[in-house]
């Protein structure tokens, strides 16, 4: 299992390159081995042909001569590659059948000169690869011979390491270049898939090999089905929430006609909660609507939100520049800041907004003096309809959508995060990267 995981993490191109590299190395060694063995057989056959022809020639020349002249004549028949000598002795019986290379030479000698098949032939191989032996002549004498060294070495890793490295390096380079081109459509699909769900729909280019084009078509079709499903449910939820606002307004008017008392106050509180809930849903759904970015004065937007809150008597303040130009979707950023300010006022009773800009990003902080949020809960609070009972109760109002609206609003243009301040309270930070 561990080996499989490591191989998978190596990457598709790396895995294919590794397979090609291994098979290339095996093919290289296999072809070298077969070539050397074929070369050895060819050399052995050549030796057998020369031996057979030279020995028969020596036999025809030596047999008519008297024994006293045979040794000198045999010496004159020797060459640089073959030494021939005549001896008066003889081979009493044929030796055991040789094996391997010697057997191949003896068989070839018999095929070339059939008269040698029945002769007593002795063959032996020296450590340096030279072959020596003798052939019994019809009169019982011996024709001895010895060849030069012609040993063929079977290739080893060390003897061919340089050529192997050069060969496999060339194959590997060509393979990687080809795989890079083939894998580019897959990398494009991965990039587009990562962008899916971050705002605007993406379309995966249908290019590359047939299998990759089929994958891209499937992803595009799946995304279209998911978008249609989400749109249908979103529109249905928005329609229900919008249509319920009218009956709630009528109920509020009718409740206002009741006699003052605890019952009427309870009904009005329930209606306020219902209206806030439906308004939050509509705001959350509107945050998913695409909006084009355009040049805006972010400082003016933030100051307007803080001033509106302060005009209602809330403890809200702003610290930052009087003007800060940025290219942003104005409605989405206004929704995000408004919900952060309302969230701080609802749960802590004050909101201190700070706006700064550096070389990398614009940062907007909303601080309060509330109880803060546990580290384990700082991610889940951005989920829709998520409430933290320890710090947020039904009495504080809201539908659990405030931070979800913020996360939806800044999606694709920045990020939002929460942290507890050392002196106490919560800090919500919107970070908007500055394009370079």
- 394 or 234, which is more confident: 234
CB-CB contact of 396 with 276 (8 Å): no
pLDDT in tens, 221-263: 888 887 777 677 767 766 776 677 778 778 878 877 778 888 8
pLDDT in tens, 78-99: 877 778 888 876 554 445 445 5
CB proximity list for 298: less than 8 A, separation 6 or greater:
324, 325, 326, 328, 333, 355, 362
- The CATH architecture one would assign to domain 201-286 is Orthogonal Bundle (1.10)
Q: How far is CA 64 from CA 55, 363, 368, in A?
A: 15, 116, 127
CA 323 to chain CA centroid, nearest Å: 46
**pLDDT in the model for residue 378:** 79
Supply the pTM of this predicted model: 0.47
Residue with tokens 């929460």: 418
At the topology level, CATH places domain 2-147 in Beta-Lactamase (3.30.450)
Q: Is residue 284 scored above 70 in pLDDT?
A: no
At the topology level, CATH places domain 291-433 in Heat Shock Protein 90 (3.30.565)
Q: Is residue 294 scored above 60 in pLDDT?
A: yes
What is residue 264's three-state secondary structure?
A: helix
Q: Is residue 392 scored above 70 in pLDDT?
A: no
| Eight-class DSSP state of 95 | P
pLDDT in tens, 131-180: 777 777 877 788 888 777 555 454 454 556 666 677 777 777 777 777 77
Ranking 199-208, 221-230, 260-269 by mean pLDDT, the lowest is 199-208
Q: Where do the domains of the chain lie?
A: 2-147, 201-286, 291-433
Q: What is the mean pLDDT of residues 273-297?
A: 72
Residue 337: CB atoms within 10 Å:
25
On the 0-12 / 13-18 / 19+ scale of CB atoms within 10 A, 91 is: middle
Q: How far is CA 223 from CA 216, 219, 238, 383, in A?
A: 11, 6, 22, 22
| The two structure tokens encoding residue 399 | 């539908």
Q: Is residue 264 scored above 50 in pLDDT?
A: yes
The backbone region for 11, taken as left when phi is positive above 0, alpha when psi lies in -120 to 50, beta otherwise, is left
């Amino acid at each position: 299992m561990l080996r499989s995981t490591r191989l998978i993490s190596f990457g598709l191109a790396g895995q294919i390159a590794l397979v090609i590299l291994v098979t290339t190395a095996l093919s290289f060694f296999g072809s070298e081995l077969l070539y050397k063995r074929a070369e050895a057989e060819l050399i052995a056959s050549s030796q057998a042909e020369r031996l057979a022809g030279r020995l028969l020639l020596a036999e025809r020349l030596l047999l008519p001569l008297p024994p006293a002249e045979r040794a000198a004549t045999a010496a004159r028949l020797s060459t640089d590659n073959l030494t021939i000598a005549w001896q008066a002795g003889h081979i009493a019986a044929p030796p055991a059948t040789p094996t391997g290379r010697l057997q191949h030479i003896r068989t070839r000698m018999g095929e070339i000169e059939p008269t040698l098949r029945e002769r007593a032939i002795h063959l032996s191989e020296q450590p340096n690869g030279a072959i020596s032996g003798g052939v019994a002549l019809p009169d019982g004498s011996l024709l001895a011979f010895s060849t030069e060294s012609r040993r063929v070495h079977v290739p080893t890793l060390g003897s061919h390491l340089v050529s192997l490295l050069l060969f496999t390096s060339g194959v590997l380079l060509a393979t990687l270049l080809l795989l890079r081109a083939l894998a580019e459509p897959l990398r494009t699909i991965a990039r587009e898939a990562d962008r899916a769900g971050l705002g605007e729909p993406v379309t995966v280019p249908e290019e590359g090999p047939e299998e990759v084009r089929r994958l891209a078509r499937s992803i595009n079709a799946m995304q279209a089905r998911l978008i249609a499903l989400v749109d249908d449910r979103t529109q249905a939820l928005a329609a229900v929430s919008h249509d319920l606002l009218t009956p709630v307004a009528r109920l509020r008017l009718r409740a206002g006609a009741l006699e003052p008392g605890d019952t009427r106050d309870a009904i009005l509180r329930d209606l306020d909660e219902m209206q806030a809930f439906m308004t939050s849903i509509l705001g959350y759904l509107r945050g998913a609507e695409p909006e084009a970015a355009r040049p805006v004065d972010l400082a003016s937007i933030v100051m307007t939100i803080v001033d509106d809150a302060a005009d209602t008597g809330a403890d809200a303040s702003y610290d930052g520049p009087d003007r800060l130009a940025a290219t942003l979707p104005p409605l989405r950023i206004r929704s995000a800041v408004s919900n952060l300010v309302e969230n701080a006022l609802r749960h802590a009773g004050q909101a201190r907004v700070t706006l700064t800009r550096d070389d990398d990003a614009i940062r907007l902080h909303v601080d309060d003096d509330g109880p803060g949020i546990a580290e384990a809960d700082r991610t889940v609070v951005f989920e829709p309809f998520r409430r933290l009972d320890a710090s947020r109760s039904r009495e504080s109002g809201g539908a659990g959508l405030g931070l979800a609206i913020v996360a939806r609003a800044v999606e694709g243009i920045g990020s939002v995060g929460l942290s507890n301040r050392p002196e106490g309270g919560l800090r919500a930070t919107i970070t908007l990267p500055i394009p370079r």
